[in-house]
Chain A
Amino acid sequence: MEFLQQVINGISIGAVYALIAVGYSLVYSILKFSNFAHGGIMMLGSYFGFLALTLLHIPFYIALPIAIVGAGLLAILNERIAYRPIRMRNSPLLYLMISALGVSIFLENFTIVTIGPNFRTYPDVLPTAPFMIGGLSIGRLDLIIVVITALSLALLTWIVYGTQIGNAIRATSYSMRVASLMGINPDFIVGFVFFLAGASAGIGGVMFGIKYTVWPQMGALTIKAFIAAVVGGLGSLPGAVLGALVLGITETFAAAFVSSAFRDLFSYALMIIIILVRPGGLLGKITEEKA
Chain B
Amino acid sequence: MNEYYAGIIILACINLTAVLGLSLLTGFTGQFNFGQAGFLAIGAYTTTILTTQYHTPFIPALLAGMLLSGLTSFVIGYPTLRLKGDYFAIATLGFAEVVRLLIENLEKLTGGSRGIPSIPHYTTLPFAICAAALSLVVVAFYISSRHGRSCIAIREDELAAESIGIDTFWYKQVSFFMCAVLGGLAGGMLAHYVGFIQPSMFGMIKSTELIVMVIFGGMQSLTGAVFASLLLTSLPEILRAAMAWRLVVYGAVVVLIMAVRPEGLFGTWELTPKNIQSLWRKIFSRPKSKLSEGGA
Contact = CB atoms under 8 A, between A and B. Distances in A.
Given A271-B94, A275-B80, A113 B101 contact: no
A62 to B, nearest CB: 31
A112 B248 CA distance: 9
A82 B79 contact: no
Interface stretch (A91-99, A132-140, A198-206): A91-99
A261 interface: yes
A223 B255 contact: no
Interface of A: 28, 32-34, 36, 81-82, 85-86, 89, 91-92, 94-99, 101-110, 112-113, 220, 223, 226-227, 230, 234, 261-262, 264-265, 267-268, 271-272, 275-276, 279, 288-289, 291
Contact of B90 (A89, A105, A110, A230): A230
Contacts of A98: 32, 211, 215, 254, 258
Given A105-B254, A264-B101, A275 B87 contact: yes
Given A226-B93, A264-B97, A264-B98, A99 B254 contact: yes
Interface string B93-136: 11101100110110000000000000000000000000000000
Given A98-B32, A272-B91, A291 B86 contact: no
A96 to B, nearest CB: 8
Contact of B94 (A95, A103, A234, A268): A268
Q: Is the interface of A mostly helix, strand, loop or mixed?
A: helix
Given A223-B94, A272-B79, A82 B258 contact: yes
Given A98-B211, A99-B255, A102-B258, 13 more contacts: A86-B258, A86-B262, A98-B258, A106-B255, A109-B244, A109-B248, A113-B245, A223-B93, A230-B90, A234-B86, A268-B94, A272-B91, A276-B79
Nearest to A40: B251
Contacts of A291: 159-160
A272 B119 CA distance: 35
**In terms of DSSP, what is the predominant structure of the interface of chain B?**
helix
A43 B83 CA distance: 30
Nearest to A279: B83
Contacts of A267: 94
| 4 interchain residue pairs of minimum CB distance | A106-B251, A102-B254, A105-B251, A109-B247
28 contacts: A33-B86, A36-B93, A92-B155, A94-B26, A94-B32, A98-B211, A98-B254, A102-B257, A104-B251, A105-B247, A105-B254, A106-B250, A109-B248, A109-B250, A109-B251, A110-B251, A223-B93, A223-B94, A223-B97, A226-B93, A230-B90, A267-B94, A268-B95, A268-B97, A271-B94, A272-B91, A279-B87, A289-B159
B30 interface: yes
A288 B160 CA distance: 14
Contact of A92 (B30, B101, B215): B30
Nearest to B248: A109
Interface residues of B, number: 47
B252 interface: yes
Contact of A105 (B159, B245, B250): B250
Contact of A94 (B30, B244, B254): B30
A109 B253 CA distance: 13
B256 to A, nearest CB: 8
B79 A227 contact: no
A169 B160 CA distance: 29
Contacts of A95: 258, 262
A264 to B, nearest CB: 6
B1 interface: no
A230 B248 contact: no
Contacts of B259: 81-82, 85-86, 99
A101 B247 CA distance: 12
Given A261-B105, A264-B101, A275 B251 contact: no
Contacts of B104: 261
A95 B26 CA distance: 11
A101 B101 contact: no
A106 B34 CA distance: 16
A92 B219 CA distance: 13
Contacts of B211: 98, 101
Contacts of A102: 250-255, 257-258
B252 A34 contact: no
